[in-house]
A and B are shown apart, each in its own frame.
Chain A
Amino acid sequence: MKGKGEIMRLKKSKKQTRVNLTVNGKPYELEIGDGPGQVKPWDTLAHTLRETLDLTGTKVSCDHGACGACTVLLGGNAVLSCMTLAVECDGQAVTTIEGLGDPKTGRLDPLQQSFIDHTAFQCGFCTPGILMSAKALLREKPSPMEEDVKEALSGNFCRCISHYQVVKAVMAASGKGD
């Protein structure tokens, strides 16, 4: 009920009736509301990506900001999409796992290729989040030390214990990305 009031208020004030997102280079203009294809003010970015835009590569595991599975890039920085409201992202660029490779050529990002070469995943459920955290690190620090990689990924839960192969894969890909 509170949510509906909030929508009314937003509509009345005309402050924000739409959310403009650029996801993986593609612009989306989403209406705020509770109909199909609309974004509710309390919808998380993870929910919007998965349920509204059908980009299910982003995974939700704990859904309260503890495990890193839902990590995406927002303006180039790694964020937990389960702890970010979609309405907060108005006007921003989001990159998800689906947009990590080159959209034009379909070529994989060097990180993705390195994960294949090192078998740096087992069940693969946490992998999209790990890749996005690693991508954010390499954007900021193209040639990290091993300790930097571990620190950057310390918020990503992996239960199969692919950590060792992930660290090798990120190190091998470092300096080769953009």
Chain B
Amino acid sequence: MADKYRFIGKVTPRKDAVEILTGKAKFLNDIKLPGMLYGKVLRSPHPHALIKKVDKKKAEKLPGVRAVLTWEDVPDWKGGTPRCKRVLDRKVRFVGDAVALVAATSDEIADQALRLIDVQYEVLPHVFDMEKALKPGAPQLYEEFPCNVVPPGVPFFGPKSLREVVMGDVDKGFAEADVVTEGTYSYENIPNPLPPEAPGAIALWEEPNKVTLWVSNQASYMDKVTLFHVFNRQVEVRSIGGPCGGSYGSKFMSWQVQSHAVLLSRATGKPVKVCMTKEEHLAAFTLRPGSRMNAKVGMKKDGTVTAIAGRWVIDTGCYSMTTQSQVAVGCGEVQIMVRCANWNLKPVTVCTNRNASGIVRGFGGQELKCILIPLLSLAMEKLDIDPFEFLKKNYVKPGDGYIWRDGIWYTYRGVDYSEAMDQGAERFGWKEKWKGWLKPSSVHGTKRRGIGVGVHGNADIGEDASEAYVRLHPDGSALIVSCVTEHGTGQRTNFVKMAAEVLQVPMEKVSLSPADSLFTPYEFGPAGSRGTYAIGSAIIAAAEDARRKLFELVAPRLEAAPEDLDTEDGVVFVKSNPQRKLPWRAMGIDRTCTGYGRFDPDYTLSNCMMSFVEVEVDTETGKVDLVRVVNATNAGQIIDPQGLEGQLNGCLGSAGIDSALFEETVIDQGTGHTLNANMIDYKWRTFAELPKIDNVVLETPFASHRFHAVGIGEVATSPGPSAILMAASNAVGHWLHEYPVTPERVLKVLGKTEPRARKGGAA
């Protein structure tokens, strides 16, 4: 396949490689502006309290301090869906909530000033557990959200925005089932996606109502859009994106940090940088949503799912900016994973007194699958159904459909992923290793191995809109104008590759503009796996438009019709007689030639990732080691082989597979303080503990994309966590249903420790 193309599918160096490898790449915290001040945030020590009085006089007098702001000093700017969370409020709602902002001439002075602010609080009762928060009489985080329920629906997704999965007749479905299983499962260890670069922003205010923001975000155009609403639609925001030191979804929304920088710049008239410390990042920035479900599933002997009914409670922490979007997409994704005619799945999103949840790879679907697959597994066990065969049979096939996030039914028109799944199973050796439910695949003394499998897919590969310009120059070079930032996927280089392929010019001749919302058109950004199809198609369309316009300009001089022309290496020629040719400069040396491209959403396609895992459990210590992973997918056409490999290997980190093994945010259930807000106590995988990973990637062309590709990067993290629980359960011969599978939990099911209530964690 790849041989048809000059650049697509070839290994090419990242355009930003030299800058990154020589330290010249300017990440947000590397930027210094003349006269720049440094901003710091005083944070609440209480999970829920009213601010009675703030004395900031001492702080203001400290030499070098330029502004100290509290809720009384700032406009009524609010985030949240619906907008409820004031940037600075009289009420604090979690340990770490912003109480006051300081701008000073150095970080150190700003830090000192924080310690000079005297705050008197009236402590209020708090609630940490999602179900307790729903009970009548529970402490209320917002007056406008009775029982702490966040209103469902997302205006951005349209009037029918998906709020639940309800279709068919579940009673009839359960009556038809051979087995019905029921239970409560949770995935509420709220791991942190934890990009190495902490969130931050630099703001420069211009009176009366303009602000320029330097951001670290995968989707920097959207900061302009988000903040426009936060700032009561009265401030003109220009966002400038640069290299983003990891996001994994999380930095798509940095509105809190950005608002702090803007308020301080507005108060001082100077550029202000606010960068979170790692402790703030872990304890006060967004986490994966907590997820718990009491549900019932019906299944037939042949693996047909006859009904799914349940109440899915989602803990969004102290506010929701995007949780309803994650619920909507999760509800769509679950239908892609499991065909079922009868559904009654009702989500409820709840506020609690901990730091907010936000976007993380897996976007709702990972949260839901991590609690649904264990329940489906119970039914499979009773019917002795192989989970690989079950997941393959039930994954969406061409002609099936789903109700997507906008509440509209779409018929799936992508490829059948069964072949990719089969090849993955073969590479993994699934058939040889599968011995049945709750049976280890091998036992060597105290070491027991077990296997598991999971699957995930997202119809977001064609979500939302993208726009781009491509400008051709007389010297045979081209510029892509797009608000895409580089957050690690290599997509900025891949867009150059796609444009170079359309224009048939060397990649060195194509450049991509900085991501500056001042002059770029609309760009939703590389969220989910939309980069390749959605953004790529807009850029390809712009390149094709520019190429067509070039041919119109040159055609008269070649005495040919524009459709009879082609171009290669900056030369336009007549297809039937390549000797009749003119260089691009024939367009005129005082001219450029600009094409425009737009992608409109297409929800008829989904990607797919199946992950097979093998774990080894030490029954003496309870430690679970991941020894092998095989990821299987079909990408249509590989654009960037090494970039793809990196994305798929990413299945371990960023709150992915390791969130089932050892990652968790531990919050003290008495005080609400995060107990592991540092990178020693928050566990992460090291180079010394790498499992063997194989990525099986098929290339069955998708008709929808000019180069027949679909995006896949985002979903790599999602099938793994439930597969780990399955594998560990099989290894030890007992169900393990809590994330993460710590040694303590393993020893407990083995009857080797006294059961005791676990302190910390959200559970």
Q: Does B381 contact A (CB under 8 A)?
A: no
Q: Does A90 contact B (CB under 8 A)?
A: no
B18 contacts A67, C-beta separation under 8 Å = no
Within the complex, the shortest CB–CB distance from B527 to chain A, in Å, comes to 16
A62-B278 CB under 8 A given contacts A57-B22, A122-B646, A164-B693: yes
A123-B196 CB under 8 A given contacts A62-B278, A96-B23: yes
Stretch of A7-15, A73-81, A154-162 on the interface side: A154-162
Within the complex, the shortest CB–CB distance from A46 to chain B, in Å, comes to 12
A160 contacts B488, C-beta separation under 8 Å = yes
A58 contacts B278, C-beta separation under 8 Å = no
Q: Does A153 contact B (CB under 8 A)?
A: yes
Stretch of B404-412, B647-655, B750-758 on the interface side: B647-655
The residue on A at minimum CB distance from B695 is: A164
A126 — which chain B residues lie within 8 A by C-beta?
196
Of residues 1 through 48 on chain B, the ones whose CB sits less than 8 Å from some CB of chain A are 11, 13-14, 16-18, 20-27, 29-30, 32
Q: Does B490 contact A (CB under 8 A)?
A: yes
Within the complex, the shortest CB–CB distance from A88 to chain B, in Å, comes to 19
Q: Does B277 contact A (CB under 8 A)?
A: yes
Bound form: Cα–Cα A101–B22 in Å: 8
Interface string of B119-149 (1 = CB under 8 A from A): 0000000000000000000000000000000
User: What is the size, in residues, of chain B's interface with A at 8 Å between Cβ atoms?
Assistant: 57
With beta carbons under 8 angstroms apart, the residue of B21, B197, B248, B693 that contacts A125 is: B197
The residue on B at minimum CB distance from A55 is: B23
Q: Does B690 contact A (CB under 8 A)?
A: yes
B195 contacts A123, C-beta separation under 8 Å = yes
Of residues 124 through 153 on chain A, the ones whose CB sits less than 8 Å from some CB of chain B are 124-128, 131, 149-151, 153
B248 — which chain A residues lie within 8 A by C-beta?
159
A61 contacts B196, C-beta separation under 8 Å = yes
Q: Does A118 contact B (CB under 8 A)?
A: yes
A56-B30 CB under 8 A given contacts A97-B22, A124-B16, A164-B690: yes
Bound form: Cα–Cα A126–B652 in Å: 17
B26 — which chain A residues lie within 8 A by C-beta?
56
B650 contacts A122, C-beta separation under 8 Å = yes
Q: Does B711 contact A (CB under 8 A)?
A: no
Of residues 157 through 192 on chain B, the ones whose CB sits less than 8 Å from some CB of chain A are none
Within the complex, the shortest CB–CB distance from A114 to chain B, in Å, comes to 10
B678 contacts A164, C-beta separation under 8 Å = no
B678 contacts A64, C-beta separation under 8 Å = yes
Interface string of A45-64 (1 = CB under 8 A from B): 00000100011111111111
B653 contacts A161, C-beta separation under 8 Å = yes
The residue on B at minimum CB distance from A109 is: B21
A57 contacts B277, C-beta separation under 8 Å = no
Within the complex, the shortest CB–CB distance from B266 to chain A, in Å, comes to 25
Q: Does A16 contact B (CB under 8 A)?
A: no
Q: Does B194 contact A (CB under 8 A)?
A: yes
The residue on A at minimum CB distance from B31 is: A56
B687 contacts A121, C-beta separation under 8 Å = no
A125-B27 CB under 8 A given contacts A67-B196, A116-B17: yes
Bound form: Cα–Cα A128–B23 in Å: 6
A63 — which chain B residues lie within 8 A by C-beta?
277-278
B22 contacts A116, C-beta separation under 8 Å = no
Within the complex, the shortest CB–CB distance from B542 to chain A, in Å, comes to 26
A161-B646 CB under 8 A given contacts A101-B22, A131-B21: yes
Within the complex, the shortest CB–CB distance from A25 to chain B, in Å, comes to 15
Which has the most chain B C-beta neighbours within 10 Å: A54, A125, A155?
Answer: A125
A122 — which chain B residues lie within 8 A by C-beta?
246, 488-490, 643, 646-647, 650
Binding site of B, secondary structure by majority: helix, strand, loop or mixed? loop
A123 — which chain B residues lie within 8 A by C-beta?
195-197, 243-247, 486-488
A125 — which chain B residues lie within 8 A by C-beta?
27, 195-197, 245-246
Interface string of B638-681 (1 = CB under 8 A from A): 00001101110111111000000000000000000000001110
A119-B245 CB under 8 A given contacts A124-B25, A157-B196: no
A153 contacts B687, C-beta separation under 8 Å = yes
Of residues 238 through 294 on chain B, the ones whose CB sits less than 8 Å from some CB of chain A are 243-248, 277-278
B650 contacts A157, C-beta separation under 8 Å = no
Q: Does B686 contact A (CB under 8 A)?
A: yes
With beta carbons under 8 angstroms apart, the residue of B23, B25, B488, B688 that contacts A151 is: B688
A158 contacts B196, C-beta separation under 8 Å = yes
Q: Does B98 contact A (CB under 8 A)?
A: no
With beta carbons under 8 angstroms apart, the residue of B194, B197, B278 that contacts A64 is: B278
Q: Does B71 contact A (CB under 8 A)?
A: no
Within the complex, the shortest CB–CB distance from B255 to chain A, in Å, comes to 21
B23 contacts A160, C-beta separation under 8 Å = no
B679 contacts A64, C-beta separation under 8 Å = yes
B646 contacts A57, C-beta separation under 8 Å = no
Within the complex, the shortest CB–CB distance from B692 to chain A, in Å, comes to 9
The residue on A at minimum CB distance from B198 is: A61
A54 — which chain B residues lie within 8 A by C-beta?
32
Q: Does B231 contact A (CB under 8 A)?
A: no
A98 contacts B22, C-beta separation under 8 Å = yes
A150 contacts B196, C-beta separation under 8 Å = no
Within the complex, the shortest CB–CB distance from A143 to chain B, in Å, comes to 18
Interface string of B305-322 (1 = CB under 8 A from A): 000000000000000000
B652 contacts A161, C-beta separation under 8 Å = yes
B489 — which chain A residues lie within 8 A by C-beta?
122
A171 — which chain B residues lie within 8 A by C-beta?
none
A165 contacts B645, C-beta separation under 8 Å = yes
A161 contacts B246, C-beta separation under 8 Å = no
The residue on B at minimum CB distance from A106 is: B22
A158 — which chain B residues lie within 8 A by C-beta?
196, 653
B278 — which chain A residues lie within 8 A by C-beta?
61-64
The residue on B at minimum CB distance from A122 is: B488
A112 — which chain B residues lie within 8 A by C-beta?
21-22
A156 contacts B22, C-beta separation under 8 Å = no
Within the complex, the shortest CB–CB distance from B717 to chain A, in Å, comes to 10
Within the complex, the shortest CB–CB distance from A130 to chain B, in Å, comes to 9
Bound form: Cα–Cα A61–B486 in Å: 19
Of residues 15 through 61 on chain A, the ones whose CB sits less than 8 Å from some CB of chain B are 50, 54-61
B22 contacts A157, C-beta separation under 8 Å = no
Q: Does B522 contact A (CB under 8 A)?
A: no
The residue on A at minimum CB distance from B24 is: A57
B686 — which chain A residues lie within 8 A by C-beta?
154-155, 157
Of residues 551 through 580 on chain B, the ones whose CB sits less than 8 Å from some CB of chain A are none
Bound form: Cα–Cα A117–B11 in Å: 9
With beta carbons under 8 angstroms apart, the residue of B197, B651, B680 that contacts A61 is: B197
A167 — which chain B residues lie within 8 A by C-beta?
687, 690
The residue on A at minimum CB distance from B194 is: A159
B702 — which chain A residues lie within 8 A by C-beta?
none
B434 — which chain A residues lie within 8 A by C-beta?
none
A149 — which chain B residues lie within 8 A by C-beta?
687
Q: Does A94 contact B (CB under 8 A)?
A: no
A160 contacts B21, C-beta separation under 8 Å = no
Q: Does B684 contact A (CB under 8 A)?
A: yes
The residue on B at minimum CB distance from A116 is: B17
B247 — which chain A residues lie within 8 A by C-beta?
123
Bound form: Cα–Cα A162–B244 in Å: 16
B687 — which chain A residues lie within 8 A by C-beta?
149-151, 153-154, 156, 163, 166-167
Bound form: Cα–Cα A66–B194 in Å: 14
Bound form: Cα–Cα A158–B678 in Å: 15
Bound form: Cα–Cα A50–B652 in Å: 31
B679 contacts A58, C-beta separation under 8 Å = no
The residue on A at minimum CB distance from B681 is: A66
B649 contacts A161, C-beta separation under 8 Å = yes
B23 contacts A119, C-beta separation under 8 Å = no
Bound form: Cα–Cα A161–B194 in Å: 12
Which has the most chain A C-beta neighbours within 10 Å: B20, B27, B197, B645?
Answer: B20
Which has the most chain A C-beta neighbours within 10 Å: B26, B29, B647?
Answer: B29
- Can you give 7 A-B contacts (C-beta < 8 A)? A56-B26, A59-B27, A67-B679, A122-B647, A123-B488, A160-B653, A165-B649
The 4 closest A-B pairs by CB, nearest first: A57-B23, A125-B245, A123-B488, A122-B488
4 A-B pairs besides A97-B22, A122-B246, A161-B654 with CB distance below 8 A are A62-B679, A122-B490, A123-B247, A123-B488
